[in-house]
């Protein structure tokens, strides 16, 4: 596997956006998964953040994250549509070809599959004119959609070309989801894969899982589930996945350490993961969908 397909998430590193981008570049990464906060909380404003991203030379993998979009009604739904539109506009502005949308955790959200499908279709339609793809991710503590298979089912029902699923290894590992859940997935509908591990064997409760997810994730090879993680990577690769991989690592310690050091650990993890599927001839990455030139 080729390192070009790996990126880091800005959420992993401490420091300014510019510091993070420089550390990633220095470690040899060629792409970055941005958070909307990178842009809107930049001290120089959104335009300065966009300029920093563009001048970094890093390709933008995508932007995270749209939360709690689906299943709302009335004014809540209308408000969330406005939020989604603003995030899509941010994607467009920074050249992010993909928006990550996480399954809703809202107590106000309906679980009616027909409404969830209709809402995902609406989000996909909003994204078409802007040339953005939507990657829908099941949070393992999602209110109604909490595992990968459910997210796949909704995406399949919604049946929109620019709507696919995101796979975050943390949720499968932490929830103990059998890796057979990946069988039968159309690789064309897998839009994005995020890899991370964590340091203990089990998360015992939902709250424990949330706490672990937000503070104690580590890079592949640093945690307690390397064998399963490796098997997940092999399965995803074997199904013919041709998209990007990123490290979705939230870790308080890593945010207390020099970014260059953490980025170097990420690079070693990327090499470790890439070595799992040696010799495979990988399909060329999709052409950048945000390119204004062809």
Partner 1 sequence: MTVAERLPEPSNPLGLDGVEFVEYATSRPQAFGALLEQLGFSPVARHRSREVTLYRQGTMNLIVNAHEARTATPRLAAIALRVRDAGYAHRRSLELGAWDMPTRAAEMELVIPGIRGVGDSLVYFVDRYRDFSIYDVDFVRLAGADPQPPALAGLHYFGLVQAILPERTADWVDFYRTLFGFAVLPEGTSFGVLPDGTLLESPCRRFYLQLVEPPPAVADDVRWDEALVRLALGAPDVPKAIAALRARGIVFVDRGRVQPSERGALTQAYLGGVSFELVASDLAS
* Binding-site ranges for partner 1 (CB under 8 A): 85, 114, 121-126, 128-129, 131, 160-162, 286-287, 289, 291-294
Q: Whole-number minimum distance, CB 37 to partner 1, in Å? A: 24
In whole angstroms, give the CA distance from residue 169 to residue 172: 5
> Of the two residues 112 and 207, which places its CB atom closer to partner 1 in the complex?
112
Q: Whole-number minimum distance, CB 293 to partner 1, in Å? A: 6
Could you give the count of Cα atoms lying within 13 Å of 85 in the half-sphere of its Cβ? 8
> Of the two residues 112 and 211, which places its CB atom closer to partner 1 in the complex?
112
> Of the two residues 129 and 184, which places its CB atom closer to partner 1 in the complex?
129
Q: Are strands 98-102 and 6-9 parallel, antiparallel or unpaired?
A: unpaired
CA nearest neighbour of 62 among 9, 102, 140: 9
| Residue 118 three-state SS | helix
Q: Whole-number minimum distance, CB 69 to partner 1, in Å? A: 12
> Of the two residues 125 and 275, which places its CB atom closer to partner 1 in the complex?
125
**Which tokens belong to 208?**
């424990």
Asked if residues 134 and 127 have their Cβ atoms less than 8 Å apart, the reply is yes
- Residue appearing with tokens 């809540």: 76
**Which tokens belong to 197?**
């591990």
Local structure of residue 15 (DSSP, 8 states): S
Q: Whole-number minimum distance, CB 170 to partner 1, in Å? A: 30
> Of the two residues 204 and 293, which places its CB atom closer to partner 1 in the complex?
293
Name the burial class of residue 72, with classes exposed (0-12), middle (13-18) and buried (19+) by CB atoms within 10 angstroms of its CB. buried
Q: Whole-number minimum distance, CB 158 to partner 1, in Å? A: 10
């Amino acid at each position: 596997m080729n390192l070009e397909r790996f990126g880091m998430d800005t959420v992993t590193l401490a420091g300014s956006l510019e510091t993070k981008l420089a550390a990633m570049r220095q470690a040899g990464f060629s792409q970055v998964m941005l958070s909307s906060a990178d842009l809107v909380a930049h001290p120089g404003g959104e335009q300065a953040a966009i300029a920093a991203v563009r001048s970094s030379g890093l390709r933008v993998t995508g932007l995270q994250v749209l939360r709690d979009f689906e299943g709302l009604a009335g004014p809540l739904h209308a408000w969330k549509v406005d939020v989604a539109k603003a995030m899509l506009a941010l994607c467009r502005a920074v050249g992010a070809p993909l928006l990550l949308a996480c399954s809703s955790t809202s107590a106000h959200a309906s679980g009616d599959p027909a409404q969830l499908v209709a809402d995902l279709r609406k989000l996909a339609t909003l994204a078409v004119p802007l040339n953005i793809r939507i990657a829908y991710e099941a949070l393992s503590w999602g209110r109604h959609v909490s595992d990968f298979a459910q997210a796949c089912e909704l995406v399949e029902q919604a049946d929109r070309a620019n709507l696919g699923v995101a796979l975050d290894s943390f949720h499968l590992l932490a929830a103990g989801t059998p890796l057979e859940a990946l069988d039968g997935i159309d690789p064309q509908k897998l839009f994005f894969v995020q890899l991370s591990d964590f340091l203990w064997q089990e998360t015992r409760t939902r709250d424990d899982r949330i706490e672990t997810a937000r503070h104690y994730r580590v890079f592949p090879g640093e945690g307690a589930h390397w064998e399963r993680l490796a098997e997940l990577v092999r399965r995803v690769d074997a199904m013919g996945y041709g998209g990007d991989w990123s490290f979705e690592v939230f870790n308080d310690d890593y945010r207390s350490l020099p970014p260059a050091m953490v980025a170097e650990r990420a690079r070693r993890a990327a090499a470790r993961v890439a070595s799992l599927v040696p010799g495979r001839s990988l399909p060329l990455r999709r052409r950048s969908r945000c390119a204004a030139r062809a």
